[in-house]
């Protein structure tokens, strides 16, 4: 055991809040440097394939069709779709990274127990995990933005704001999923249900591929509670220079509230599970 860890064990004191979080982020970064190839498909390649299939392929079929120009505000379907797929990628990354990897930290690899045996508190482990997910999402999103720019999918510098909004959206999903994963002893069917009945429907019915107002009236309120819809609306408005302050503020407040609530429960549940 290192000297800082022995001091923490003997005094019961953890390092500063930020330093403890950064230690967890450092652990994740060291692992990622040696294993990034295992995650590059889901975090980078998959959203690019979506972009090619829908933005380039399907977009060529619908472009010029009746009502398409009105739905996209006169932009090409590729330009209209690109910021939404940026948000989708962030949500999928946030959900996945906060499901099996979190349970692994408690049950299989048990590295959360090793961290809290040293100078890091359970709350810092939870916040460090969420910080790492946000950083990883930002990195993958930056690569995605560069590629869509090569395909002509960037309409304005507002895509940078769209990237920041996508990171916030991914974190707003990651936080409650992290809290949920901290309650599980075995994965069972829990994660399958999460992805099949929450993440996939959220991807399809949150205004990603078509405007929400094209849905039946009784389905639209379901889309309005989706964090992906809120993130897509702000990201798309920023990327297409259709920024309206009040709607953007409302959408952002929803995402921040979800992030804060999820982080609160995640820290509480990590503390309950890891506290000696």
The whole domain housing 235 covers 39-274
User: Considering its fold, how many domains does the chain have in total?
Assistant: 1
CA torsion 24-129-11-3 (nearest 10°) is -10
In a domain, 225, yes or no: yes
| Cα radius of gyration rounded to whole Å, the chain | 20
In a domain, 6, yes or no: no
In a domain, 26, yes or no: no
Range with lowest mean pLDDT among 10-14, 62-66, 202-206: 10-14
Instruction: Report whether 138 contacts 36 (CB < 8 A).
Output: no
The per-residue pLDDT for range 8-47, each reduced to its tens digit, is 444 444 567 899 999 999 999 999 888 877 776 666 677 6
Q: What is the pTM of this model?
A: 0.88
In a domain, 14, yes or no: no
Buried b (16+ CB within 10 A) or exposed e, 231-259: bbbbbbbbbbeeeeeeebeebbebbeebb
The per-residue pLDDT for range 119-141, each reduced to its tens digit, is 899 999 999 999 999 999 999 89
CA–CA separation, 24 and 35 (whole Å)? 17
CA–CA separation, 32 and 274 (whole Å)? 24
């Amino acid at each position: 055991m290192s000297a800082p860890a022995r001091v923490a064990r003997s005094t019961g004191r953890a390092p500063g809040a930020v330093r403890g979080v950064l230690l967890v982020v450092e652990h994740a970064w060291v692992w990622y440097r040696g294993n990034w190839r295992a995650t590059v498909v889901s975090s980078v390649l998959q959203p690019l394939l979506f972009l090619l299939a829908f933005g380039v392929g399907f977009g060529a079929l619908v472009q010029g069709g009746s009502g398409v120009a009105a739905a996209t505000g006169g932009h090409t379907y590729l330009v209209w779709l690109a910021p939404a797929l940026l948000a989708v990628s962030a949500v999928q990354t946030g959900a996945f990274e906060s499901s099996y990897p979190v349970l692994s930290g408690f049950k299989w690899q048990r590295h959360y127990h090793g961290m809290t045996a040293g100078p890091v508190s359970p709350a810092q482990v939870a916040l460090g995990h969420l910080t790492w997910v946000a950083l990883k999402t930002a990195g993958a999103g930056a690569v995605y933005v560069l590629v869509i720019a090569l395909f002509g999918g960037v309409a304005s510098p507002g895509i940078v704001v769209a990237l920041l909004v996508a990171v916030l959206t991914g974190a707003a999903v990651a936080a409650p999923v992290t809290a949920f994963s901290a309650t599980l002893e075995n994965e069972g069917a829990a994660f399958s249900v999460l992805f099949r009945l929450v993440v996939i429907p959220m991807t399809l019915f949150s205004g990603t591929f078509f405007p929400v107002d094209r849905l039946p009236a009784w389905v639209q309120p379901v889309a309005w509670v989706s964090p992906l819809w809120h993130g897509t609306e702000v990201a798309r408005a920023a990327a297409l220079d259709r920024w309206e302050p009040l709607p953007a503020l409302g959408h952002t407040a929803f995402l921040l509230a979800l992030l804060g609530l999820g982080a609160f429960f995640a820290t509480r549940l990590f503390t309950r599970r890891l506290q000696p």
